[in-house]
Every structure is written in C-alpha cells, then in structure tokens.
C-alpha cells in the first residue's frame, strides 16, 4: 500500500512532530545538561582551582601551567567515559521510552496513529528530537570545557584535540545507542520487552562472542590468539559497551565507518518496519519476532557455552562439557522464553528454536573438533614465506624490557605491554621454524584428533607468517596439551638462533641518544645509584656491552635499569617487531643483570667515575 | 462516503472483520450496533487509519485512510477510552492537534470550552470519565473533520451532556454536512440520533438500513385466537420471533403494520394489535435470528 501523501506534506508533518517532541522533552534536555555540567565543567573547575591554590609560590609559571594542562587532560580522559558516556546512554533509554513508548500502548496508538501524520515523519521527527535532546547538552558542556581550556591557556595538544574527538565519538555512539533502542521499540510490543531486548543484545552478544572465541581458542590447535580479546568485535552489535571503547583507545580503523553505517541501517530499518508495523501489536509480546529469536539464540549460546566451558575447565572431562553445555543452554532458553512470554504458555512451541540452536552448536563444535576444514594442518610452503615473527611468551625467558602504548599529549601509558616479536627473515631461520611447525601439527593430529577443549596454562607460542602475496598467516598454540616438555625441547634451537636473539629485547632497538640515565644496583643491596648519561660515547658503549652479554650465562653480580627518553614513534624495524603498531610507544625502564667481570660492569665503572650521580632510588628489583 | 469492500481484519487466529462489504452514506449519523466482539471498534479503527486491513478495502471518499494524511486530516476518531498526552490539559491538547489537523478552528475550540465547562488549564488525567469524553468531543469538533468516528461515546456522559452531544452532532451534520459514525450499545440514545443503522455480528454485517425504514418494516404483534390456527397459517407474515401462551400469540414480523393487520384480520382474531419496535427490540429479534439469544448462550454454556 503506497502512500498517497506528497513530500512537502510529509516534510511539514516531520517539522510539526519534531517541534512538538522537542518541546515536550525540553525538561529532560535541561536535566541532562545540568547533570553533565555538574559532572564535567563544575568538578573540573573545582579541581583546577584547588590545584591553583596549592601550587605554592616556589613553583614557576611553566611548571604550574604544565601541571594544570596534565590535570585537565587527565580529568577529560577519566570523566568523559565515566560521566558523559554513561549519562548519554542512560538518557538515550529515558528519551526512547518517552518518545516511542506510545507504540507500546493501545490507547496512545489510538491517538497517534489516527493523526494525519505519516508513520515515517512521525518516527523521524521524534528520533531527531531525541537526538537534539542528547546532543545539545553535550555540545554545550563540551563548549564550556573548551572555554575552561582557553581561560587557563591550556595548549591544544593537552586535551583540546581529545575534547574534539571525544565529542564526535560521544555523539556518534549516543546516536547509535538511541537508534538501536528506536529499532527495538518498533519491533517490541511493550516497554518492558524493549528494555529486556536492549539488555539481551548488549550483554548477550559480547558474552556469546567471547565464549565462542574461547571455545575456538581452547579446542582448535593453532587458533589460540595470543593477543588480547578484540573488544571492538565483542561489541560489534552492542552499542552500549561499544560507546566506551573509543574513550579507552580500543577502536580499530573500521569502528567509525561501521557504527556510522550501522546507525544509518538501524534508522532505515526502523522506518521500514514502522510502516509495516501492526498497531494491534502494542501491548502484545512482539511486533516483529526476529529480535526475540536472535536474543534468545544469543543467550541460549551464552548459557550453553558458559556452563560447558566452566565444567570442562573444572573437570577436564569432555562428557561433562557436552552435558553441561546441553543443560546450560536448555536452562537459558527456558528462562529467556519464560521472561519474554511472561510464563510457560509458548514453551513447547519454542523448543523448535532450541532444536535449531542445538544443531548449530553441534555443527560448530564438529567443525572445530575436526580441524576447521584444514586450519589445523595448514603450514605454508617455504617459497611462500617472506618473514616469520615469533612470540614465545611463557615458553622462553623474556627480555628485560617492555613496550607500552603511549599518548604523546598526556604522557599517559595505556593497556598491557605490546609483545616484542622477533622477525625472522633468513632462509635457514624460516626453514627451521617451518620444520618445527610441521612436527607440531603432526603431533597434534596423531595424539589429539578429534580435538576437545583443553584446559589452558600460561604458555602461548605464536607464529606469524608474512607471506609473499602480502597476506599473513597466524598460528598460536596454547600450552594446554601436555606437550610442554616436547615443545620446549623443540623450541630451544629456534629461540637460540642469532636472528631471534638479536630481536628479542629493546636493548637491540635502542639508540645511544635514547638513554637518559642508568641506575645501578648492588647484588644484595636495596638502594641504587642513578647516573645521568651525558656522554654519548659512554651511552653507546653501555648499549654494546648489554647486547654482547644479553641472554648469556649470567651469574648476576648486580643489576641495572635504564631510563629511556619520552614516548617516541618507533622506526620501521621496531614497528615490524611490534606487530605493525605505529603509534607512539614508551619503554618502561628496561632492567638487566650483569657479571662482575664482564663488559657491562667495566662500562658501569667508567660511568660511575665520569658521570654525575643524579640520586638514589629504592631497588625495585632488576629483571634477570 | 465510507465504503467497505470485502474488508478483512484478523488478530492472529481470530477474524474480527470477515469479508465485510457495506456503505455509510455521507452527511448522516450512522449507528453501529452489534454483539460484543462483533467488530464495531475494529471497523472504526480501520476507518481511522489505525489498523491496516488484511484483505479487501476500506475507502473514505474513494481513498484508503491507512498512511494517508490527506484522508486522516478529514477524519477524527474518539475511541472508547480516549487518550490524552501525559500531564496535558485541554489547551496543550489543542496546540498539539492544531499543529497537525489542517482545519483546526481555535474559535470553535474556545466556544466549545464555554459550552463544556472543563477548564482549559485543568490536567485531563484528573478529570472523570465523562469529563474526559467531553474533552475528546471538544477536540473532535474543533478539528472540523468531515467524518467523526465515535466509539461508545455515551458512556460516562450524564443525561444532560448526552442531550448536548446529540444537539451538537445534529448541528454539525446540518450545518457542515459532517458524517458521524457512532458505535454503541446504548440503543436508546442511538435511536434518537441516528438516521441509519448497521447491525454487526461475528465480523459481518447483518443489515444496514435507514432507521425509519427499519422501524416501519418490522412490527411486534399481540393477538388472541379462539381456536388458535396452525403455525403454518402465519408463514406468509415472515415471522422473526414467535411465542404462544394459550390463546395469546406474540410475534415479530418483518412487514409493515398495516400489511400484518390486514393478513391477521383474514384469520378472524378475537383481538389483534401491531406496534412498531424500538431499536433495542429490533436488535434482540435480529440477533435471535442470527442465533445470538439468551437461550442459545445458556444452552452453549451447558454443553
């Protein structure tokens, strides 16, 4: 049935709906603005003014200004995710209920759907009013934050840039969350179901993906990803948790276009479905059943995988895994169905959906147990390989340095260390690694096939092949198989290769100019002496000495730690060893031990004679 | 004119409007009567563009109302439980409706506010059921629609307000040629107000007639015969309802009063009298024909 109403009329209907909805929600807009003001500009002003008061007369203008700038930047990084994101998400729920709650009440539908206003202009007018009600308070308060920065003459890099990008992310993710709720409102028959569905997707999707990934990681040999879980993927369909990611530096490149497209698609979908929505579905369970089916599937998967994996890890028994997976999924299905149906009336009919889940789960597990179509046995041909990087965390003694993501504006270090993975390019190194990989695959096939979930220990051995066709192939093995001794014996020659050893620690990547000071500890003392490294030649000698004695048979007569310059951008070689990470990095005081009769000890003696003692520090324990 | 052509509306398994076809002429007051669940409210909601038909068509002046603002701007629907915006008063409802109803008349709104003394600034949610209906009527008449659809409008209105409503409706029909459709179980009030009546039962239309024609075409008869003739002797009278007690016979016939009396006189009654039916009596007798009477209901319950 096509609309017989002209576009100008529709535009007028949209305008009237928008104005009215905006006016009716002016109070909510004001409340959000006030709450944001209290949480952001007001607390910031109080913090800055108290910092100013306690600055003391002895502090110089520059030191004071740097302190204020750091305080400002730190405040924004902490409070924008905590206060601004949380408040906007909360108000997106409140505004959605206020603006679209009429769809879920038969009496209110009698009024709204009888009005001479098309459904699409009505939905869009209300959606736009909701967006303005969310965006205006955020814009106003971020404007005040910018004015505060101007008033305190805080440089742009110390928060100004972040303020702009944070505002853009905030508005985009608020739009995504609000549109997501709008979509669910159109699909649901009651406010309760809208809220339950929103909760189901935002909790169920990340949990289901996390648990599925866990099953893959612990079952399929070579699929254990040594990296952290990808939070962006976990929140791919969950705008509420996703809203926090850009503020904690977890957004990949595709994150921005994905959420722009997802928001647009959700809005278009909401318009399309609203035109087809039956008014009589108000106060019913669902106008469109698809979200319920998806959410029930996700939560059933969570119940099954969660309980199954927990049972597996506790007992190590595959029968227990399957039994608990079946029990957990059935209980989750029953609970979700009972909650959605407000009882058990539709339970019997819903079991066909449980059967579909059971088939999907069996197929998924079957694919993993049989090696995922050759995933487990894929070893590239030597002619295909350009280079290989190895991450042997947990299997070999790591170097004495760790590299972190760093923010140049604030100097803040975020996240866990970035693993330093030595890159092997020599043909003999490549051949040796491929031989090891083939033997490992053969051992898995012979002893563990068909695969079952394995309990995890700490060791992870990751091989990243960069192939000549430009692609990469990663195989990551978890020390869960009882192969530890065999693996360590086989890995030893690999880890002792010169090419591996010389790329395994930051000491091989640092330049003499990178060193600022060295702190020397006695073998049994707690105090260390810090020497400023002013002499470039001595810095070079110290690095050479550390490299020559690196990973040697150390008797550990003493220890040292290096202080390295401010966050810097890695060069090509280091970037490759960091797995392609191109942002700024900070090296957290690398520590090494040395022999009393070695070259390092000689250079340290020379430093002690020539360089100025900067101070004494508590021994935090040099790495062996 | 409102026209239903093979109109079907289903709620899950239940068919509320079952292939319904009939017309409501313009510039008239049309009463929709019928059993509970007959489809009266569903019909009104479909005509108001709230429900989309599952099959067939419902046309208002040749156009379908669903998602058609042009048609909806000329129709105003007052449901059985009128809804008002939360925390709103009449003035706010007026502003809300004025923004979307193209022919909204503020002068009429003010005049009606004087007629129904509700208070423009009084919160509607605090008003009684009858007062809320009056508020809905103020909004409906101020929108200046061509079609006013009312569901159980007499509920909660006191006798004076009912009279006032009837007068306002009659004025609207007379002065502006408005078509008013009223679904109600209050047949006494409908009888005063309507010029046409449609009887709904189980999603279908039993009949749709001019009220005068309906009243003149049906009559109830009381007669005494000694001796009582065979029932077959009355067959030509098209009897709808029949009851005998000794020599007394009561029946309802689908025929004019004079026609019935003329036929009865040929059968030499001791006494015979034919009276016109009230709308309620017509309703009950027609519903009995359709199998909807107390005896049937009780018999079904016992099964």
Residues B73 and B152 in one domain: yes
Distance from CA of B145 to the nearest CA of A (A): 11
| Chain B stretch 87-106, residues whose beta carbon is closer than 8 A to a beta carbon of chain A | 96-97, 99-102
Higher-confidence residue of A378 and B289: namely A378
Helix-helix angle A61-79:A119-151, to 10 degrees: 160
Tally of CB atoms within 10 A around A569: 12
Structure tokens at B138: 């103020």
Render A464-510 in DSSP notation, one character per residue.
EEEETTS-EEEEEEES-SS-HHHHHHHHHHHHTSHHHHTTSSGGGT-
Residues B205 and B158 in one domain: yes
Which CA distances in Å does B204 have to B116, B191, B198? 37, 21, 10
Instruction: Using CA coordinates, name the residue in chain B closest to A113.
Output: B50
Q: Which of B212, B227, B253 is the last residue of a domain?
A: B212
CA B105/CA A32 separation, integer angstroms: 37
Reported as a single tens digit per residue, the pLDDT across A549-584 is: 776 655 567 788 888 877 778 888 888 888 777 778
Judge whether A418 and A580 are in contact, CB under 8 Å.
no
Residues B10 and B81 in one domain: yes
Q: What is the largest CA-CA distance in chain A?
A: 94
pLDDT at A509: 85
The whole domain housing B108 covers: 2-212
pLDDT at A365: 94
Instruction: Using CA coordinates, name the residue in chain B closest to A13.
Output: B100
Query: In CATH, what number is assigned to the domain containing residue B272?
Result: 3.30.70
Residues B256 and B224 in one domain: yes
Reported as a single tens digit per residue, the pLDDT across A277-309 is: 999 999 887 889 899 999 999 999 999 999 999
The complex's ipTM works out to: 0.89
Residue A259's contacts (CB-CB under 8 Å, 6 or more residues apart) are A172, A173, A176, A239, A242
pLDDT band at A500 (very low <50, low <70, confident <90, very high): confident
A12 touches chain B (CB under 8 A): no
pLDDT at A1: 43
Distance from CA of A3 to the nearest CA of B (A): 6
- The three state secondary structure string of B89-140 is EHHHHHHHHHCCCCCCCHHHHHHHHHHCCCCCCCEHHHCCHHHHHHHHHHHH
Residues B119 and B13 in one domain: yes
The whole-number average pLDDT for the span A386-397 is 71
Give me chain A's average pLDDT, please: 85
Q: Give the range among A19-33, A103-117, A180-194, A397-411 with minimum mean pLDDT.
A: A397-411
Kindly tell me if the per-residue pLDDT of B80 is higher than 90: yes
Asked if A119's CB is within 8 angstroms of B72's CB, the reply is no
Residues B175 and B220 in one domain: no
B81 touches chain A (CB under 8 A): yes
**How many domains, chain B?**
2
Using DSSP bridges, classify how beta strands B239-245 and A413-418 pair: parallel, antiparallel or unpaired.
unpaired
Kindly tell me if the per-residue pLDDT of B263 is higher than 70: yes
Q: Which of B158, B179, B212 is the last residue of a domain?
A: B212
The whole-number average pLDDT for the span B86-104 is 94
pLDDT at A493: 84
Tally of CB atoms within 10 A around B117: 8
Judge whether A417 and A402 are in contact, CB under 8 Å.
yes
CA A479/CA B209 separation, integer angstroms: 87
Reported as a single tens digit per residue, the pLDDT across A323-357 is: 999 999 999 999 999 998 888 888 898 999 999 99
pLDDT band at A622 (very low <50, low <70, confident <90, very high): very low
Residues B168 and B221 in one domain: no
Phi/psi for A556 (5° steps) reads 50, 70
Tally of CB atoms within 10 A around A228: 9
Residues B194 and B267 in one domain: no
The whole-number average pLDDT for the span A19-36 is 96
% pLDDT > 70, chain B? 98
Which residue out of A18, A110, A273, A277 would a mutagenesis test of the B interface target, given it has the greatest number of B Cβ atoms within 10 Å?
A110
Block residue for tokens 């066709």: A469
Asked if A1's CB is within 8 angstroms of B64's CB, the reply is yes
Residues B252 and B240 in one domain: yes
Residues of chain B neighbouring A27 (CB-CB closer than 8 A): none
Where are chain A's structural domains? 7-288, 382-501, 506-618
pLDDT at A4: 54
B147 touches chain A (CB under 8 A): no
Residues B208 and B218 in one domain: no
Distance from CA of A276 to the nearest CA of B (A): 9
B188 touches chain A (CB under 8 A): no
Coil/strand/helix, residue B181: strand
> Of how many residues is chain A composed?
624
Reported as a single tens digit per residue, the pLDDT across A178-212 is: 999 999 999 999 999 999 999 999 999 999 999 99
Distance from CA of A346 to the nearest CA of B (A): 15
pLDDT at A87: 97
Q: Which of B212, B236, B257 is the last residue of a domain?
A: B212
CA A340/CA A104 separation, integer angstroms: 15
Which residue out of B50, B63, B104, B129 would a mutagenesis test of the A interface target, given it has the greatest number of A Cβ atoms within 10 Å?
B50
Distance from CA of A254 to the nearest CA of B (A): 38
Residues B255 and B127 in one domain: no
Coil/strand/helix, residue B39: coil
Reported as a single tens digit per residue, the pLDDT across B198-217 is: 989 889 988 888 888 887 88
Closest CA to A463 of A405, A415, A393: A393
Residues B167 and B289 in one domain: no
pLDDT at A412: 59
Structure tokens at A408: 């140049």
% pLDDT > 90, chain A? 43
pLDDT at A550: 76
């Amino acid at each position: 049935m096509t609309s017989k109403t002209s576009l100008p009329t529709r535009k007028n209907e949209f305008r009237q709906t928008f104005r009215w909805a905006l006016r009716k929600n002016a109070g909510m807009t004001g409340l959000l603005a006030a709450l944001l003001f209290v949480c952001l500009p007001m607390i910031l002003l109080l913090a800055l003014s108290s910092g100013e008061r306690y600055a003391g007369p002895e502090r110089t203008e520059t030191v004071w200004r740097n302190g204020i700038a750091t305080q400002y930047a730190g405040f924004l990084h902490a409070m924008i995710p905590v206060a601004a994101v949380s408040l906007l998400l909360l108000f997106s729920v409140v505004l959605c209920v206020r603006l679209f709650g009429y769809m879920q009440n038969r009496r209110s539908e009698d009024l709204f759907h009888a009005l001479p206003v098309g459904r699409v202009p009505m939905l869009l007018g209300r959606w736009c009013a909701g967006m303005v009600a969310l965006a205006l308070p955020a814009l106003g308060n971020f404007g005040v934050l910018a004015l505060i920065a101007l008033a305190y003459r805080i440089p742009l890099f110390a928060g100004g840039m972040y303020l702009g990008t944070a505002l853009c992310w905030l508005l985009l993710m608020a739009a995504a969350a609000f549109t997501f709720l709008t979509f669910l409102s159109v699909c649901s028959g009651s406010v309760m179901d809208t809220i339950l569905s929103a909760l189901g997707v935002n909790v169920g999707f990340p949990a289901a993906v996390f648990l599925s990934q866990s099953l893959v990681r612990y079952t399929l040999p070579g699929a254990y990803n040594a990296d952290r879980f990808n939070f962006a993927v976990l929140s791919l369909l969950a705008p509420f948790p996703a809203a926090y990611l850009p503020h904690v530096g977890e957004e990949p490149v595709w994150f921005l276009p994905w959420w722009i497209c997802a928001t647009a698609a959700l809005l278009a979908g909401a318009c399309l479905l609203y035109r087809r929505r039956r008014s009589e579905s108000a106060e019913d369970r669902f106008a469109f059943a698809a979200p319920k089916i998806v959410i029930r599937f996700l939560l059933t998967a969570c119940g099954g995988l969660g309980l199954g994996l927990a049972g597996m890890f506790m007992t190590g028994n595959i029968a227990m895994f399957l039994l608990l997976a079946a029990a957990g999924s059935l209980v989750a299905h029953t609970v979700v169905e009972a909650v959605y149906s407000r009882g058990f009336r539709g339970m019997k009919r819903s079991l066909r959906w449980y059967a579909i889940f059971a088939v999907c789960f069996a197929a998924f597990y079957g694919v993993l147990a049989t090696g995922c179509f050759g995933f487990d046995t894929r070893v590239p041909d030597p002619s295909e390989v350009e280079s290989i990087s190895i991450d042997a965390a947990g299997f070999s003694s790591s170097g004495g340095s760790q590299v972190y993501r760093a923010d140049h504006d604030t100097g803040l270090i975020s996240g866990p260390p970035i693993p330093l993975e030595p890159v092997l390019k020599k043909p003999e190194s490549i051949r040796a690694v491929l031989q090891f990989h083939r033997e490992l695959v053969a051992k898995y096939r012979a002893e563990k096939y068909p695969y079952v979930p394995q309990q995890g220990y700490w060791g992870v051995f990751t091989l990243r092949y960069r192939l000549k066709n430009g692609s990469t192939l990663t195989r990551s093995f978890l020390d869960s198989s009882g192969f530890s001794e065999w693996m360590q014996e086989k890995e030893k020659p690999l880890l002792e290769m010169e090419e591996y050893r010389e790329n395994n620690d930051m000491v091989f990547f640092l330049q003499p100019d990178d060193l600022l000071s060295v702190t020397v500890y006695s073998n049994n003392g707690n105090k260390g002496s810090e020497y400023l490294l002013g002499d470039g030649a001595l810095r070079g000698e110290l690095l050479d000495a550390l490299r020559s004695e690196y990973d040697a048979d150390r008797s550990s007569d003493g220890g040292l730690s290096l202080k390295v310059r401010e966050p810097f951008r890695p060069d090509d070689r280091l970037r490759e060893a960091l797995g392609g990470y191109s942002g700024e990095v900070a090296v957290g005081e690398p520590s090494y031990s040395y022999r009393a009769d070695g070259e390092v000890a000689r250079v340290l003696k020379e430093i002690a004679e020539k360089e100025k003692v900067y101070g004494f520090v508590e021994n935090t324990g040099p790495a062996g | 004119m409102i026209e239903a052509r093979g109109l079907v509306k289903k709620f899950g398994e239940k068919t509320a409007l079952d292939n319904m076809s009939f017309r409501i002429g313009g510039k008239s007051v049309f009463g929709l009567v019928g059993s509970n669940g007959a489809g009266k409210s569903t019909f009104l909601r479909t005509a108001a563009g709230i429900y989309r038909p599952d099959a067939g068509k419902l046309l208002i002046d040749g156009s379908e109302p669903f998602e058609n603002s042009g048609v909806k701007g000329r129709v105003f629907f007052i449901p059985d439980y009128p809804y008002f915006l939360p925390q709103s008063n009449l003035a706010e409802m007026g502003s809300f409706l004025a923004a979307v109803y193209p022919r909204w008349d503020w002068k009429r709104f003010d005049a009606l506010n004087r007629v129904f003394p509700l208070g423009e600034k009084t919160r509607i949610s605090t008003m009684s059921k009858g007062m809320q209906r009056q508020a809905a009527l103020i909004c409906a008449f101020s929108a200046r629609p061509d079609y006013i659809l009312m569901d159980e409008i007499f509920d909660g209105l006191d006798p004076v307000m009912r009279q006032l409503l009837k007068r306002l409706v009659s004025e609207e029909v007379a002065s502006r040629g408005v078509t008013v459709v009223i679904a109600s179980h209050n047949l006494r009030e409908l009888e005063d107000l309507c010029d046409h009546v449609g009887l709904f039962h189980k999603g279908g239309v039993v009949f749709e007639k001019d009220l005068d024609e309906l009243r003149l075409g049906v009559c109830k008869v009381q007669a005494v015969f000694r001796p009582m003739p065979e029932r077959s002797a009355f067959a030509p009278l098209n009897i709808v309802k029949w009851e005998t007690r000794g020599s007394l016979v009561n029946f309802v016939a689908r025929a004019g009063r004079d026609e019935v009396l003329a036929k009865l006189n040929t059968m030499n009654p001791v006494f015979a009298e034919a009276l016109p039916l009230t709308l309620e009596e017509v309703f009950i007798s027609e519903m009995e024909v359709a199998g909807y009477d107390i005896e049937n209901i009780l018999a079904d319950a016992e099964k």
